[in-house]
Amino acid sequence: MKDTKRQFKMFSFFDFDGITAHMEKMAADGWMLEQSTNRYWIYRRTQPKKLKFAVTYFPQASEFDPHPTEELQAFNEFCQSAGWKPAASMAQMQIFYNENENPIPIETDPMVQIDTIHKAMKKNFIPSSLLMIAVSLLILCMNVAKFITSPVSVLSSHSDFFISFSYIMLLLISAVELGQYYIWRKKAVALAEEGLSIPSGKTAKLFQTVVLAVMLIMLIIYAVMSLGVISPWLLFTIFAIFGGSGVAAFYLKEFLRKKNVSRHLNMALTFGTIITVTIFMVFILVWAAVNYDLPTSPKESQPVGTYTHNGFEFDIYDDTVPLRIEDFMQTDYTDYSVRNRASGSIMLSVTEVYQDATINRKGVAELIYEITEVKFDPVYDMCFDDIFYNIDDSKDKNIPEGYKQKLVEQTDSAWNADKVYRVFYENEYQNKWLICWGNKIVEMRFYNCGELTDIQKTIIAEKLNCI
């Protein structure tokens, strides 16, 4: 039989009635509160007792204090003289219990109680909530700006979507709880001014439970979907670094407290160590992936060799791709590097293919194309505009008119496409195309391939599974 019980309970910092009611029920069931850490509560087995609990707040206290300050010790002695014994503490929150059936209340003046709670909230809860709201809004604004300027990049990434979704949830949790506190405080002040006792603030348990459940479900979905885009070792390492930092912070803080490290030094060492370790681990992760060619995706190919050009060494790839130069024209050149880079999400997928010459490159045919397949129709137009104006310079005021690259619509039935555009630059058409087949938007660049014939265009469209 276990003598320790741990619970994950969602109580607002100012829900003193909800906390005391739960503690009294646990004591009646034979579980005495021993330690509280935000939403994590630890109990030890004891004889079932009918106890009275009280939650009070001491603004001068800190979760980084190695031991109670002189002021807090004096406050505890005052409470013990009235029969209140300390059970546990959490930063500025102090929890006491009393074995008397009708004990003397610790708090007797409602206005003083409200003022004390507010001072405690300003030490921890309010700044952290405002910081989370500010950080969430900043990241969401950055992601919105990125989405507006580059929707294809954002929509083809599971991580961008998941990060935005997560910060929306964190913003909601912080804003709702902060709003709850100020609504409660306004009502409590009105009651106190009339000389009435004040009830505690209510915890939005259902709201928080639903939000956290949705975040957990999205995390699972993200992890499952990412297995096709990110290799398992990389996914595990990312979660280990950022998920483990919170656990590490807690244990480091507690270790320093037991070593009687001062409050401010504990704070500096804890946050400094976590930030330093996180940055270092991310650096090691990137360094290992780059220097040891660790695949960031299970689908990502590995080089089959290397070649040197202009004094620089490049990798050679031999990936499977939907279209190669050999499919639509004859060539005796065999020293190609063919790379297929794919990314995608539930919104759209992007396939980038590069068929590059490696040795004896002069005059050799080369091919680059990018296939964007839009899976969610409402975002098609914005994706098309993003791709179109990444090629077409007509809206770029920084480029002189005579040097702008423009896409000109063609009436070319050989492509069997919905829309066909060709690049016009320096008074002549280039062998660069933007073609739309249904939900596919394909950008193609042909080098040293000559003018494409109608037969070649049809072959290309068939190979890309567009007709």
Residue 318 near residue 338 (C-beta atoms within 8 A): yes
Find tokens 């160590």 and name the residue.
Answer: 273
More confident residue, 289 or 138: 138
Q: Which of 239-253, 342-356, 423-437 has the highest mean pLDDT?
A: 423-437
Distance, CA of 314 to CA of 334 (rounded, Å): 17
- Note every long-range contact of 246-255, with CB atoms under 8 Å and residues 24 or more positions apart, other chains counting: 248/274, 248/277, 249/274, 250/37, 253/63, 253/64
Chain centroid to CA 138? 13
pTM for the complete prediction? 0.70
More confident residue, 83 or 161: 83
> Which whole number is the average pLDDT over 53-77?
81
DSSP output for 149-171: H-HHHHHT-HHHHHHHHHHHHHH
Residue 47 near residue 32 (C-beta atoms within 8 A): no
Of the given ranges (86-95, 296-305, 306-315), which has the lowest mean pLDDT?
296-305
Whether 429 shows a pLDDT value over 80: the answer reads yes
Residue 161: which pLDDT band, with cuts at 50, 70 and 90? confident
More confident residue, 283 or 180: 180
Residue 160: which pLDDT band, with cuts at 50, 70 and 90? confident
DSSP output for 304-358: SEEEEETTEEEEE-B---S--HHHHS------EEEEEEEEE-SSEEEEEEEEEE-
The pLDDT of residue 221 is: 66
Chain centroid to CA 194? 47
Chain centroid to CA 130? 18
> Which whole number is the average pLDDT over 246-274?
76
Whether 230 shows a pLDDT value over 80: the answer reads no
pLDDT single digits (tens) 446-462: 999 999 999 999 999 99
The pLDDT of residue 360 is: 85
Q: List the chain domain ranges.
A: 4-106, 108-226, 231-298, 305-463
Of the given ranges (29-43, 285-299, 426-440), which has the lowest mean pLDDT?
285-299
Residue 93 near residue 134 (C-beta atoms within 8 A): no
For the chain, what is the total number of helices (H) and then of strands (E)? 12, 15
Percent of the chain with pLDDT over 90: 35
pLDDT single digits (tens) 24-51: 999 999 999 888 876 678 899 999 999 9
Find tokens 């770029």 and name the residue.
Answer: 396
Whether 380 shows a pLDDT value over 80: the answer reads yes
Tell me the pairing of strands 312-316 and 406-409.
Answer: unpaired
Q: Any residues with CB less than 8 A from the CB of 218 and at least 6 apart, and which?
A: 162, 165, 166
Q: 64 — phi, psi (to 5°)?
A: -95, -5
Chain centroid to CA 403? 41
Q: 466 — phi, psi (to 5°)?
A: -100, -15
From residue 344, alpha-carbon distances to 140, 148, 160, 233, 340 in Å are: 21, 18, 11, 20, 13
Residue 17 near residue 184 (C-beta atoms within 8 A): no
More confident residue, 344 or 145: 145
> Which whole number is the average pLDDT over 411-437?
94
Percent of the chain with pLDDT over 70: 86
The residue type of 222 is Y
The pLDDT of residue 289 is: 55
Residue 59 near residue 116 (C-beta atoms within 8 A): yes
pLDDT single digits (tens) 130-151: 988 998 899 889 888 888 889 9
Residue 423 near residue 406 (C-beta atoms within 8 A): yes
Give the DSSP H or E segment for 52.
strand 52-57
Chain centroid to CA 125? 22
> Which whole number is the average pLDDT over 256-280?
76
